[in-house]
Amino acid sequence: MQGLITLAQDPAAWVALLTLVVMEVVLGIDNLIFISILTNKLPPENRERARKIGIGLALVMRLALLGTVAWIVRLTTPIFEIFGHAFSWKDLILIAGGLFLVWKATKEIHHSVDPVDHKEDMVGGAASITFSAAIGQILLLDLVFSIDSIITAVGMTPHLPIMIVAVMSAVTVMLIAATPLANFIAKNPTIVMLALGFLLMIGTTLIAEGMGFHVPKGYVYAAMAFSALVEVLNMFARKRKKSGNTTA
């Protein structure tokens, strides 16, 4: 208890907490986009429940992983080499998660643009995934993003209470933002394709990171923000044009 009081009185600890909370929220955007797209494939009455359960289990998983920080840090230790490049368990997890995202995004893009096969067309709103399958896939990606975010947190602060508060804050933001984001994506078909493009880029970035090619996160999120801004302007332009045609 005395240690917590001392930590709370340290200005550096508050700066670290604020920085880590922002970092965790930003890193959670990738996960949130995936959850929004995936749960929109479920029947409407199951979507919000799936988001809450998926994000709630993500919180439990991250807190459990924080209890094994010493083991998580060891995941960065090289275990074998190929062509002079050392691979760790973290690298393998990032590569596996990236491949899954690339496969999933490519599959959904195919079903969105194929005029014949609409069995898994998210734009059409068809439910082609079971509730348990959705939760399972959410947890799979949660594991990948959780390990990455916890390793990032360990690199920013040595204090476990700060990590716990930051993780809980980030997951709370995800829980609040999940349904509005999912509804927005569902109501705008062009946003679906843009979000799938984001997932494809995120998956490729994860694979690159796992292969040892560092891609600054700022570049990735800047590209995502710019693309989203362009799409929002397109939406306003289409709405304005439609309104003008109706008036005419």
Residue 245: phi and psi, rounded to 5, are -65, -35
Mean pLDDT of the 51-61 span: 86
Q: 37 with 51: CB under 8 angstroms?
A: no
Question: What does the pLDDT average to over 223-246?
Answer: 81
Q: Give the least confident one: 74-88, 96-110, 126-140, 219-233.
A: 126-140
Mean pLDDT of the chain: 79
d(CA 96, CA 207): 8
34-48 as b/e: b if 16+ CB within 10 A: bbbbbbbbbeeeebe
Name all contacts of 73-79 with Cβ < 8 Å and 24+ positions apart.
Answer: 73/151, 73/154, 75/147, 75/151, 76/151
Residue 168: pLDDT over 80: yes
CA 238 to CA 219: how far, in whole Å?
29
Which neighbouring-strand residues pair with 86?
81
42-56, 137-151, 181-195: range with highest mean pLDDT: 42-56
Contact 221, 29 (CB under 8 A): yes
Domain-wise residue ranges, the chain: 10-214, 216-248
User: Quick check: 239 pLDDT over 70?
Assistant: yes
Looking at residue 85, what is its pLDDT? Answer: 82
DSSP for 153-220? HHHH-S-HHHHHHHHHHHHHHHHHHHHHHHHHHHH-HHHHHHHHHHHHHHHHHHHHHHTT----HHHH
Reduced to 3 states, what is the DSSP secondary structure of residue 248? coil
- Please report, for residues 92, 106, 114, the alpha-carbon distance to residue 111 in angstroms, rounded to integers and kept in the order given: 29, 9, 5
Cα(146)–Cα(99) distance, integer angstroms = 17
Section 165-180 average pLDDT: 86
Entry pTM: 0.71
- Quick one: pLDDT at residue 123? 40
With bands split at pLDDT 50, 70 and 90, how would you rate the model's confidence at 2? low
Can you give the pLDDT at residue 247?
A: 59
> Is residue 88 scored above 60 in pLDDT?
yes
Cβ contact 20:166 at 8 Å: yes
Answer whether residue 124 shows pLDDT above 80.
no
Q: Which helix (H) or strand (E) holds 124?
A: none
